[in-house]
């Protein structure tokens, strides 16, 4: 968290509400947020604008005249845009609460835009990063990340997923899907959702999966993104229980609630030290379901 849907929501908010507006103020409150290449500095954004945006997996790119900015929200990043001249948006980690007064102690960057609009980046764990990259070096910078196909791109096909899973045959399926070199954009929440949809235990090895099961995983990714992206991601606050069974996510963070497939109780375990939610009736550790 944030994963592809949350990052895409931030990208769309910036693209739709702030693109083309002149940046009239820059306040970098945590210098470690910004990593520079070729001597670039964040001050170069003064009197410039974000001309375009793009995204690959969990990485968002702002395209400006002086440079490209590669943004990763990491575990607890949150973007908030407010101002009289825009509708405003918020996306990313739900802590602090989305309506918290800004700036606060975890606010690391503030960009002021013409027309009374302001963009805040907050991060309670201080893991978020922005890389300042010359335009000519952007392709090489992204290539060094070794990202798999983006889940919303034409490159993400059933054949591509099958090929990548066959290369990692001895690994457990959940860590393989979490690995951004397999596919780009999935994190802990959405892998739980996908494997529950596909009725696959997260500890199953890739080599144990039938073609039909890989088909279900692919379908699960596609269907999960269809739900999560329009909603701007999963609305999970760990301090508040999820009580509405019709609310997305359907299994993650729902320990003790009934499975919406079969009614059995959802359990929580760990797979490679990651908190994992599953239904043991729908997702048996051994054996394969035929449907």
> What integer pLDDT is reported at residue 241 of this predicted model?
54
Does the pTM surpass 0.85? The reply is yes
Read off the pLDDT of each residue in 262-285 and give the average, rounded to a whole number.
96
Q: Note down the domain range covering 89.
A: 4-144
CATH code of the domain containing 37: 3.20.190.10
234, 268: one domain? yes
Total residues found in the chain within this entry: 291
Whether the pLDDT of residue 240 is over 70: the answer is no
Read off the pLDDT of each residue in 260-280 and give the average, rounded to a whole number.
96
219, 259: one domain? yes
8, 137: one domain? yes
168, 122: one domain? no
244, 124: one domain? no
163, 78: one domain? no
Q: Please, what is the average pLDDT of the chain?
A: 94
CATH code of the domain containing 192: 1.10.8.50
Structure tokens at 103: 């700036």
Query: Which stretch of 111-115, 116-120, 201-205, 283-287 has the lowest confidence by average pLDDT?
Result: 283-287
Q: Is 28 exposed, middle or buried (0-12, 13-18, 19+ CB in 10 A)?
A: middle
Whether the pLDDT of residue 47 is over 90: the answer is yes
Read off the pLDDT of each residue in 181-199 and give the average, rounded to a whole number.
98
Which amino acids are annotated catalytic? 2-3, 58, 274
Domain count, the chain: 2
Q: Nearest-5° angle of CA 131, CA 98, CA 31? A: 30
130, 175: one domain? no
122, 18: one domain? yes
Structure tokens at 84: 């009289």
174, 224: one domain? yes
Residue 96 lies in a domain: yes
269, 176: one domain? yes
């Amino acid at each position: 968290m944030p994963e592809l849907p949350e990052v895409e929501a931030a990208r769309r908010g910036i693209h739709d509400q702030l693109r083309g507006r002149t940046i009239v103020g820059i306040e970098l409150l945590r210098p470690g947020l910004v990593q520079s290449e070729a001597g670039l500095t964040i001050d170069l954004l003064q009197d410039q604008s974000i001309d375009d945006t793009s995204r690959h997996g969990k990485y968002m790119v702002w395209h400006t005249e002086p440079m490209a900015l590669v943004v990763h929200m990491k575990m607890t990043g949150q973007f908030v845009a407010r101002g009289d001249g825009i509708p405003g948006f918020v996306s990313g980690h739900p802590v602090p609460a989305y309506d918290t007064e800004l700036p606060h102690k975890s606010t690391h960057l503030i960009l002021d835009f013409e027309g009374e609009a302001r963009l805040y980046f907050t991060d309670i764990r201080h893991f978020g990063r922005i890389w300042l990259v010359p335009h000519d070096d952007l392709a090489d910078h992204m290539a060094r990340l070794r990202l798999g196909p983006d889940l919303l791109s034409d490159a993400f096909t059933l054949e591509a997923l099958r090929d990548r899973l066959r290369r990692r045959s001895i690994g457990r399926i959940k860590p393989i899907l979490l690995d951004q070199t397999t596919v780009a954009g999935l994190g802990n929440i959405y892998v739980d959702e996908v494997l529950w949809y596909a009725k696959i235990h997260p500890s199953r090895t890739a080599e144990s999966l039938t073609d039909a099961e890989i088909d279900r995983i692919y379908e699960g990714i596609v269907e999960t993104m269809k739900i999560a992206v329009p909603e701007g991601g999963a609305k999970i606050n760990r301090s508040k229980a999820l009580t509405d069974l019709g609310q997305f996510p359907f299994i993650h963070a729902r320990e003790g609630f009934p499975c919406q497939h079969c009614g059995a109780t959802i359990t929580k375990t760990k797979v490679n030290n990651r908190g994992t939610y599953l239904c043991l009736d729908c997702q048996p550790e051994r054996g394969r379901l035929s449907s």
